[in-house]
Amino acid sequence: MNKTVLDLWVGLFVIAGVAALLFLALKVGSTSVVSVANSYEVVARFDNIGGLKPRAPIKSAGVVVGRVADIRFDNETFEAAVTLRLDNRYAFPKDTAAAIMTSGLLGEQYIGLEAGGDSQMLKDQDRIFITQSAVVLENLIGRFMYGQAQEGAPQ
Amino acid sequence: MPMTCDWKNSVLKRSIENLGNRTLQGVWRIGFAARFFVAVLLHSGTAFRRFGLTIREMYFTGVLSLIIILVSGLFVGMVLGLQGYETLQTYGAEEALGILVALSLVRELGPVVAALLFASRAGSAITAEIGLMKATEQLSAMEMMAVDPIARVVAPRFWAGVISMPLLAALFSAMGIFGGYLVGVQLIGVDEGAFWSQMKSAVDLERDILNGVIKSVVFGVAITTIALFEGYDAPPTAEGVSGATTRTVVASSLAVLALDFVLTAFMFRGLN
Amino acid sequence: MHNDNLVEIEDVEFGYGDRPVLKGVNLTARRGQVIAIMGSSGCGKTTLLRLIGGQIKPGRGTVRVAGQSLGELGQAGLYRLRRKMGMLFQFGALFTDISVFDNVAFQLREHTDLPEDAIRDLVLMKLHAVGLRGASQLMPAELSGGMARRVALARAIALDPMLVMYDEPFAGLDPISLGITGNLIRRLTDTLGLTSLVVTHDVQESLKIVDYIYFVSEGVIVAEGTAAEIRASDLPYVHQFVHGEADGPVPFHYPAPSYADDLRLEKQRA
């Protein structure tokens, strides 16, 4: 086997392999929207986070603007403290509301941000005060049944 | 002749002894293989200083495996497309076909199936080649000419295998996704835009693709080490070499599947 | 200190596990001589070569080459010594994936910094010495057995070693190749000033070219002497070996129970 022909084939092989990797990386995959470098963090407290997981998307008007960085349990207030990592490009007013929503009917949960009207913007390490916990299906069904029972009772 | 229940010579005792013996042999052999692995790493200087040697081996392990990898990748992707569509359709979720094909391939099928194919094609070839060199005293001759066979013959093949494996796995996954696209979009009629955009939003670079690459590197190390060791340790006869070749394929396939479980459990447990 | 003995083996014992192969061997090889080590198969001849080459270590005793004890040499020292030794394996052991030329050039390329032109000249010289200069571009698979061994010989002398070891160089050769090989061994030893150690059981060919012979049987040296002495020897083992007698100290029959008993059992069953 001639050495130059061999080198040529190996070169082609490596190029093809790297191209495949690039194809996978760029066309098939997507990087996390926010890396630590170009983001700022905000904290929000919830009574119940439902099925929210770290790295869940944070959306506003349906567009992903960040990811959930961390979820902790506060043993004193018995609330969940969620750290939201938001992209530097997007600034939100201080009175923005954060709600835990479900994607589709049974999909994964994400945080939806509804912008407020405050002229001052959220900065790094600020806190979102207006929060809405996740809808827990059992509670919903319980309330519905209770409501039905109430309607039935006076008769 | 009367049949007595003779404990000392009974079949049961002998089978237990046999089993114990074989297990001990197996453990001893694993230790031997581990020392071999360390020796290969320590003597890898030549493989890098004279990179031409490694490149030459990459031709034989990587380039010559291309056909089987590309064709198999294509077929696996196409089957995923068919089977995936069949099932997703019942939930009205055909547009998620892209996600299904891509994630299956990138996370699991790409690294694992490519590794199994690599083990049977390149792994067995390496074992046969080294075993034959040992049987025809070429390795001995090299030693007597003051050239370390581990540095000159074994280490370049090791690094060639480790470098080739992730490239082959990526090519397998890429071909598979293309195959899934062919079947899903072109043949069946799933929406092309939905196919690619849903895929892109669900496949994560670090979690899925990077983990897939890490898996294939680990598989490459395991397969190449086993192949080289079996060849180097083979009895220098015809049956010895052919037995070693078979052992390479079996042992490296099992190793790949076992490592896959370990790596998957480790990488994807943080899914919660 | 330059001693006339290139190789000295003293009281060497070697075995695999509990199976002894060499049980106390004493052997010296003087410079410039062709020395044969003879004996029937499996008596430890090849083991001796491997001990001298440092591929295995003796259980007991010392092996000295050019005054250096092999047991005291580290890996680097052993490799340095091996560059001055050449070994011809039984079937050549040529590297099958490269050409004849590249095989002979192997040591030159690995161990020297000579430019390709110089290497080319040296390789062609060595091939010419064994009569195969015209075959330099062939691949080992295209060579006959005798030719392969000659190429291997050219490869072994590429770095002008001081000692060349031959493992059964005459095995399986046709009469012409036999003659050529024997001739080459003698000529190279004389012209290059080497020492040659030939392990063989071809008596006729070796007696023509050797200076000294050692007979190994069952792990010990049973006889030694010059070609003339050996030919005239009346030691039973040597006599049986040299004259190719069917029975003698090396028995014809593999150990077995008495013939009569074996036959009687047969008759009973029938």
Is residue B191 over pLDDT 70? yes
* Residues in chain A, total: 155
CB spacing of B63 vs A10 below 8 angstroms:
yes
A93-136 residue pLDDT tens? 988 999 998 877 666 788 999 988 888 888 888 888 888 888 87
The band of C1, judged by pLDDT with boundaries at 50, 70 and 90, is very low
Residues near B249 by Cβ (< 8 Å), separated by ≥ 6? Answer: B119, B120, B123, B124
> Which A-chain residues 32-91 have CB contacts (< 8 A) with chain B?
32, 53
pLDDT at residue B82 tops 50: yes
Give me the residues paired with residue B97 across strands. none
Q: What does pLDDT average to over chain B?
A: 90
Tokens of C259: 């013939």
Please give the pLDDT value at position B272. 39
Asked if B109 contacts B261 with a C-beta cutoff of 8 angstroms, the reply is no
C189-245 tens-digit pLDDT: 998 888 999 998 888 888 889 999 998 888 888 888 888 888 887 788 778 777 777
User: pTM for this one?
Assistant: 0.81
Cβ <8 Å between A14 and B167: yes
Highest mean pLDDT among A12-16, C51-55, C73-77: A12-16
pLDDT by residue (tens digit) across C160-188?
999 999 999 888 888 888 888 899 999 98
The shortest C-alpha distance from C159 to chain B (Å) reads 10
> Measured between CB atoms, does A30 come within 8 Å of chain B?
yes
The reported pLDDT for the residue numbered A34 is: 57
pLDDT at A52 over 90: no
Q: How far apart are CA A112 and CA A97, in angstroms?
A: 8
> One-letter amino acid identity for B101?
V
Whether chain A has a CB inside 8 Å of the CB on B208: the answer is yes
Name the phi and psi angles at B131, rounded to 5.
Answer: -60, -40
Taking each continuous run of H as one helix and of E as one strand, the counts in chain C are 10, 10
B209 touches A at CB < 8 Å: yes
Which of C65, C94, C143, C197 best probes binding to B when mutated, by most B CB atoms within 10 angstroms?
A: C94
Average pLDDT, chain C: 86
* Distance of residue A110 Cα from the nearest chain B Cα, in angstroms: 14
CA distance C44 to B12: 41
ipTM of the complex model: 0.83
Domains along the sequence of chain C with CATH: 5-84+192-269 (3.40.50.300)
Contact between chains at B145 and C90 (C-beta distance less than 8 A): no
The yes-or-no verdict on residue B4 having pLDDT over 60 is no
Chains that touch A (3 or more CB pairs under 8 A): B
Distant-in-sequence contacts of B200-203, Cβ < 8 A, 24+ apart: B200/A27, B200/A28, B200/A29, B200/A30, B201/A30, B202/B99, B202/B102, B202/B103, B203/A28, B203/A29, B203/A30, B203/B99, B203/B102, B203/B103, B203/B106
Q: Give the distance from residue A28's alpha carbon to the nearest chain B alpha carbon, in angstroms.
A: 5
pLDDT tier at C268, thresholds 50, 70, 90: low
Domain extent listing, chain B:
17-271
List the single residue in B with minimal CA-CA distance to A52. Answer: B272
- Helical segments of C23-142, H only: 45-52, 75-82, 100-111, 116-129
Q: What is the pLDDT of residue A106?
A: 61
Give the CA radius of gyration of chain B. Answer: 23
